[in-house]
Structure 1
């Protein structure tokens, strides 16, 4: 059975259980177990190959049917679809009060999804609430409003988020790998680390899913009106027209602004919602081994992200073999290990200059320490000379 089919099967089970729980209350322990199972499924596949969500998920406990032109909460008019995930659909809307474009995330209505939505809402309130006066909070996507929709498939939590541009993965698709200059990569990684320093120290939040898809560019289209068509294509075009055709493009590219998005999988430092976190390519050693994790797990992911942005390749790329699967690795089954140091890889394979490779490899290795307690913190990483080189 494919992983995607497993997701569908899980959703059908969840829908059945949701209907059953209307009549008979499940224990908190059972509900918590189901919620943790749902959360873990979101990390099994880093990228959905399907362009659209499964129509069968538009049922009781599932997605809310949305049409272009609908108005949410008598305020947010739907212009187009931004995307979808296992837990929700996301829509480009215009705020009829302010005229501002926003992103509205509409979660599934099943009990497990509702609880996950409540958890995400609490985390977003902490990260972007009026009491969050830390200047680094602007490195995190901001929650603007919240409401609920009572629809044919149940009651759905809706989150209104600031509208940002496409993610770093979209950038790679548009311009190829690696697609960013070293100066730009350093600028992006600095902002990601600033966002994590804020989440880890000020909010006591672990993001748990740092990857290119969750780092969004702050790009404003030249026209205030939103043309029809796919939102991703609109913003991809905006990148090209506002940056590549601009005579100041080199300077603009090196000073691009990004924000950390999607706290849907996040948790508190002192309260975890799921043991299996992170998308595979960015999953930390302690999580792979089933050990306790904390903020250092995010730092490991940043190291993987930095390597990928510089080289265009994944630092770690899980592959299925005859004796182990993508999800069930066992180091004892690897017969021969051929060591190739990170510095040597950067010089021999990616042809970085010796000085750059030396400082960059040192930067990465401090974030990839096998022992989480010895791994550099986000604040410490920000002081590393590679970011200033």
Structure 2
């Protein structure tokens, strides 16, 4: 068993392995450019069935080892040289379709993050990120471009599991979900939550203006930028400050030798982050990451959403034959803003199923559109035909207002944080409810959200305070 004593910059990590990793991180992994995609229904690997069987002893905070197979991860370890230029010095994280590494760019003497994708990852991600980060379009949406990772380099590498696309960006600090997981109260300071929300809407507005749907919006795919330059540290200084790489031996359940397409040791990710409640306003600058599910509705038709259930748009379930488009992002964006402002998700994701999430949505937002309502068999035994909740002893009805008090106001009050005053509360309600309309065509656009009262009076002014810092 590896040592769980925290480093000076990891004060929360050990105890969260014991509590939050079990209770709250069931859908979160430490990544810098999150594929996140830890929901089982996300697109499945098609080559072989090793990724579906348990072959290796699992290691916490490490990628699924069965995915080291044809079409899967590329085996990498500390000290490797990638593309004859980048020396791997630490691990930043992983997602279902990539591992992410901190490397020293020996050409420019700086630290970079390298996302090494699985051989069967979505090839469109590279073109989407490249288009978004290099667009020369001048418009009111250009501010959001600063919240898209800038691609420094891109290339492919060959390995025992196939050909792996790679791209290089500046390292990020942590995701918003990781920041909350590192805090006992799982809250951002109110001014920080406002600034984060404003930036996320600006980023989505920019992505939409360029003709793309992100396709996987949630606060696990929103990264906080590093508030300092890692490159000023020599390697020994980096290790002294953040800890040297930690390893765990990889073992098969059957005791057989490891195949050549998997490393002999797993590398545990480093921690560059800070707890959400300790994050200060000048540090609250974001990057919107993981465009592995992004698409252009004018060029591709996408019918299935792989966004985690708590933020998945309901039309993906009730109108599966209609292609998804920009409004699907808006629903997920609304759910993400709630999680940034509050302590927990708007819809309870613990042991979530499609029916339990729909039940949560109806409790909070009211009855489904009539054609969806009668299509939904799960309503029986939970609701009367008019949408009134019934037989709810084990799963009590929680209205929108109750959720706001329990998830946002009361946790802030317990921690002696400023509460949201009535005027701001009503402005938040109006904005979020315009985003969480059941029918996609009834939702506000990202541009309209930027013009709403809460953005104009509360969120954007907080972002303006740090914009030039």
Provide the TM-score with structure 2 as the length reference.
Answer: 0.65
Q: Deviation at 1:67?
A: 1.5
Equivalent position of 2:308 in the other structure:
279
**1:195–1:321 CA distance, 2 compared to 1 (3 A):** closer
- Give the counterpart of 2:98 among 76, 81, 88: 88
Contact 1:320 1:326 in 2 (8 A): no
Distance (Å, rounded) in 2 between the aligned partners of 1:5 and 1:295: 22
- Give the counterpart of 1:333 among 380, 384, 400: 380
Distance (Å, rounded) in 1 between the aligned partners of 2:205 and 2:193: 18
Relative to total residues, which structure has the larger helix share, 1 or 2?
Answer: 1
Equivalent position of 1:143 in the other structure:
151
- The yes-or-no answer on 1:154 pairing with 2:154 is no
**1:83–1:14 CA distance, 2 compared to 1 (3 A):** same
- The yes-or-no answer on 1:14 pairing with 2:42 is no
Which shows bigger deviation, 157-166 or 331-340?
331-340
Distance (Å, rounded) in 2 between the aligned partners of 1:213 and 1:90: 15
Distance (Å, rounded) in 1 between the aligned partners of 2:110 and 2:191: 32
Please, which runs of 5 or more residues in structure 1 have no aligned partner?
A: 18-37, 42-47
Which shows bigger deviation, 339-348 or 209-218?
339-348
CA RMSD, 1 decimal: 3.5
Contact 1:209 1:277 in 2 (8 A): yes
Which shows bigger deviation, 315-324 or 167-176?
315-324
SS in 1 for 2:337: helix
Q: Deviations over 1:335-371 (max 9, x none)?
A: 2344754245424773543323212111110111122
- Give the counterpart of 2:400 among 342, 356, 370: 342
Equivalent position of 1:35 in the other structure:
none
Q: Deviations over 1:99-143 (max 9, x none)?
A: 22221111222xxx15x1x21111112111254553421111222
**1:359–1:50 CA distance, 2 compared to 1 (3 A):** same
Distance (Å, rounded) in 1 between the aligned partners of 2:229 and 2:40: 43
- Give the counterpart of 1:300 among 331, 350, 373: 331
Please, which runs of 5 or more residues in structure 2 have no aligned partner?
A: 1-36, 53-57, 247-267, 360-375, 390-396, 411-419, 459-469
SS in 2 for 1:104: strand
Q: Deviation at 1:379?
A: 1.0
Which shows bigger deviation, 361-370 or 284-293?
284-293
Q: Which has the higher contact order (CA 8 A, sep 6+)?
A: 2
Distance (Å, rounded) in 2 between the aligned partners of 1:7 and 1:50: 21
Q: Deviation at 1:175?
A: 2.3
- The yes-or-no answer on 1:199 pairing with 2:207 is yes
Provide the TM-score with structure 1 as the length reference.
Answer: 0.77
- The yes-or-no answer on 1:62 pairing with 2:67 is no
Equivalent position of 2:429 in the other structure:
361
